[in-house]
Structure 1
Amino acid sequence: MTSALQVFMLPDLGEGLTEAELINWLVAVGDEIRVDQPIAEVETAKSVVEVPSPYAGTVAELHGEPGQTLDVGKPLISVARVGSLAGAGADDAAPAPSPDEEPVVETAAANAYREEEKAGSGNVLIGYGTPGGAGQSRRTRAPRQLSVVEPAEAPDLDLSLLRTRVPGKLGAVISPLVRRMAREHGVDLGDLHGSGDSGLIMRRDVEAAISSPDVDARPVVEASPVAEPSRAVGDTPAGTDSRTGLPISARTPVKGVRKVVAANMTRSRQEIPEATVWVDVDATALVELRAGLKKSDPHNAPGLLAFIARFVTAGLKRFPELNTRIEAAADGAQEIVAFDGINLGFAAQTDRGLTVPSIRNAEKLSARELDAEIRRLTAVVREGKGTPEQLGSGTFTLNNYGVFGVDGSAAIINHPEVAILGVGRIMDKPWVVGGELAVRKVTELTLTFDHRVCDGGTAAGFLRFVADAIENPGSVLAEL
């Protein structure tokens, strides 16, 4: 006899991630749900995504609380099949399976596309088909896996094999969930003495440390020949930094967008031998061109960034080395991958952090069309609704940090791209024009590039092309 519960595992939402933060439940236990109904909002790398259910039925259990980080492949929600709870009492509505019975997990990974076509669903997640409709999804029993549990749940476990301990520093911790809880709440495991067997640190020990931050979580023990020296309570207050002696005002877990940005920037600096070139540009003609268009058509004049984006795509056609990516070939050697097209990313600051949506096939768009896409995608990411395709498919990035009132920046390349162009603020500066000093609208362009894909001549050629286009926009636009 199989279980009436269908367990929906948190899928990979298309970004290759291993975890996501649960933002909000859209359903509650006892609710009747249908196939493709949104059941939860989760925060992925750079967007908030509504997760649809592949099952119809009654919500039996929600596996997680808002704010909790969930691992991909772990249970998200349990759904009882329609009618399976009819006539059942409160105590036997969802009976637990017997010890020798494995839960049945419905999957359709190999037939996802076929099932989607049959069901007509637009919300099928990667790794899941829609089991409804004319198709019949195949059932397979989930393989037995060794779970990491607390010792109270598995008294026969060999603690010497499972616990993690550095003598004199970290207490024994068996559960990665306990380690994560301690890390997210700023609890130093070195200050804890576990209440479990052999000093094992349990979840209750970390919870006690969180609820009583002003009390040293490690009790004073009697001195013995084998005991490590104890520290008197109050030697180092829990709210004081041991290195500086200053009070700690806050601890903020690095997660969500900030965590992804940090990992991506770290990888970029570790892997890419970057170099930077820059040039000051007289943008007076471009500013005047845009002002003239705005005067004649106040509502449809492209912004300055759209014009620069148009010049960038034209420059990348002439210097395609900067619109590539480096990958490892099958034999382990590196190879440069070129693209037939340009997906132009642009940095957009949002309340949730820095995002880089990309305009697909940007080389085919006019300045006016680029302006419309920049405005549309900016609104999308600021609402937290950017898709993985929009946020992870760029081939070159344009960064307008001038909006923050700065002149220049040696930006970090958005891995795995090979170059990023930065635009500083446009300001009045003295400039020599025709041998005479004049006040002009000047900006600084900064190009950071991967020295593996090209040398300085190529980078300088591209930068100079964009600079010349800004200084003489009319002639360049006429040729595009």
Structure 2
Amino acid sequence: MSDRGDRIEPFPARRRGTVDYMRTAGRRSNVHGLLEVDVTEARQRIEAIEAATGESLSVTAFLVFCLSRALEAYPRINAYRDWRGRLHVFDAVDVNVLVETTVRGERLGVPHVVRRTNERSVRSIHDDIRAAQSSSDPTELSPVAELAFRLPGFVRRLLWRLPQWFPERWKAMAGTVAVTSVGMFGGGGGWVISPTNYTLQLTVGGISEKPRVVDGGVTNRELLDLTVTVDHDVVDGAEATRFVGRLRELVEAAYGLDVPGE
């Protein structure tokens, strides 16, 4: 016997893709690093840029920019390992970002690939992401795709093995690295640990204010929680640690956020 408010709803076809992705990604050799990164200077500069130009910049665009510049020093992380054990290293950094947009009247986070971010400015990346957010559905499914989501699960999950079978095709479809901004859906600090089908994923958590020693004195700083996930089959621990150090250095220096007139 059920309550009057109970109901049975159809499971969305799009969510089946998420289920398949998570099951496949969970089998990879993912290693997660939990970071606290000081973004006080970066957020101050973003506010100063908005005051000077009247145009805002997103923290996500800034992080994508820093991630891309860090990969310039460690290009072997911007790669996939194929089924033959070969490493496909890509020159272009194509970042798959999670953007919040309206899909059939509902606010959802959907993927969007920002191409060649290692050759673009923070502003260019920001404008690309905003254009995707303003789209009614940047990942609208074709009738063929809708039909594909209704195939048996073991058949659908073959798609997520593209990085191992055809790395170049996966890059064209889904990019080379991923940034997912979970923190945009809630306030406060906190980390998120998620499996991923990418060699490198940056999961953006929340921002909290905490005391920190700066120049010999204690002051409150804005700290961003980041989770860096790498595929240990492709990236060893030493290289991953050096990459994370470079990423932290760029973010805390507010690299790429030049205030007009300064």
Aligned to 1:336: 87
Correspondence 1:279 to 2:26: no
Partners of 1:292 and 1:313 in 2: CA distance: 23
Q: Secondary structure at the match of 1:429?
A: strand
Please state if 1:319 is matched with 2:79: no
Q: Which structure would you say has the larger Rg?
A: 1
3-state SS in 2 of match to 1:347: strand
Partner of 1:263: 20
User: Are the structure 2 counterparts of residues 336 and 255 from structure 1 closer, same or farther at C-alpha, using a change threshold of 3 Å?
Assistant: farther
Pairing partner for 2:194 from 400, 403, 411: 411
CA RMSD of aligned residues (A): 2.6
TM-fit CA distance, 1:292? 1.1
SS of 1:308's partner is helix
Alignment match, 2:47: 291
Q: Following TM superposition, by how much is the alpha carbon of 1:431 offset from its aligned partner in structure 2, in angstroms?
A: 0.9
Say whether residues 1:469 and 2:222 are aligned partners: no
Matching of residues 229-240 of structure 1 within 5 Å: none
State the 1:420 CA deviation: 0.7
Q: TM-score, normalised by structure 2?
A: 0.77
Contact 1:445 1:463 in 2 (8 A): no
Amino acid at match of 2:137: G
Structure 1 segment 144-183 matched on structure 2, within 5 A: none
The residue type paired with residue 439 of structure 1 is N
Q: Aligned residue for 2:167? A: none
Structure 2 letter corresponding to 1:358: V
The one-letter code matched in structure 2 to 1:379 is S
Q: Which residue, 95, 115, 138 being the options, matches 1:360?
A: 115
Separation in structure 2 between the aligned mates of residue 311 and residue 385 of structure 1, nearest angstrom: 25
TM-score calculated relative to the size of structure 1 = 0.43
CA 1:345–1:470: 2 relative to 1, 3 Å: same
| Matching residue's letter, 2:12 | K
Mark the CA change 1:251 to 1:351 in structure 2 (over 3 Å): closer, same or farther: farther
Identity of aligned residues (%): 20
> Do the aligned partners of 2:112 and 2:138 also contact (CA within 8 Å) in 1?
no
In the alignment, what sits opposite 1:108? none
How far the C-alpha of 1:356 sits from its partner, in A, is 1.2
CA distance in 2, matches of 1:295, 1:465: 29
Secondary structure of the residue aligned to 2:26 is helix
**Is residue 285–residue 471 contact of structure 1 (8 Å, CA) maintained in 2?**
yes
Deviation at 1:477, TM superposition (A): 6.1
Superposed, 1:197-212 pairs within 5 Å as: none
Question: 4+ residue stretches of structure 1 with deviation over 6 A?
Answer: 387-391
Which amino acid is the alignment partner of residue 422 of structure 1? T
In structure 2, distance between residues paired with 1:248 and 1:297:
51
Q: Is the CA contact (8 Å cut-off) linking 2:37 and 2:251 kept in structure 1?
A: yes
CA contact (8 A) 1:279 1:445 kept: yes
Q: Would you say 1:426 and 2:207 are equivalent positions? A: yes
Q: Deviations over 1:228-261 (max 9, x none)?
A: xxxxxxxxx6x6xxxxxx9993333333211101
- Which residue in the other structure is 1:347 paired with? 98
Aligned residue pair count: 224
The counterpart of 2:229, out of the listed 441, 448, 452, is 448
Cα drift, residue 386 of structure 1: 3.0
Residues of 1 paired with 2:138 and 2:98: CA distance?
16
1:438 aligned onto 2:219: yes
Q: Which has the higher contact order (CA 8 A, sep 6+)?
A: 2
What does the per-residue CA deviation read over 1:176-219, in whole Å, with 9 as the maximum and x for residues that have no partner? xxxxxxxxxxxxxxxxxxxxxxxxxxxxxxxxxxxxxxxxxxxx
Q: For 1:368-416, what per-residue CA distance to the aligned partner results, in whole angstroms no more than 9, with x for missing partners?
A: 1111001012222xx1243689993311111122212252111221x2x
Structure 1 segment 71-90 matched on structure 2, within 5 A:
none
State the Cα distance separating 1:269 from its structure 2 match. 0.4
Unaligned runs of 5+ in 2: 142-169
Query: 1:386: which partner in 2?
Result: 139
Distance change >3 Å, CA 262–CA 391, structure 1 → 2: farther
Residue 409 of structure 1 aligns to a residue whose secondary structure is coil
Following TM superposition, by how much is the alpha carbon of 1:267 offset from its aligned partner in structure 2, in angstroms? 0.6
The one-letter amino acid paired with 1:396 is V
Alignment of 1:124-135 (within 5 A): none
Residue 360 of structure 1 and its aligned partner are, at CA, apart by 1.2
1:432 partner SS: strand
Deviation at 1:291, TM superposition (A): 1.3
- SS of 1:399's equivalent? strand
CA distance in 2, matches of 1:319, 1:387: 34
Deviations 1:350-369 (A, max 9, x none): 45544211011111111111
Q: Letter of the 2:43 partner, please give it.
A: V
Residues 290 and 248 of structure 1, relative CA distance in 2, 3 Å threshold: closer
CA distance in 1, matches of 2:111, 2:240: 22
- Unpaired segments ≥5 residues, structure 1: 1-236, 240-245
Q: SS at the partner of 2:82?
A: strand
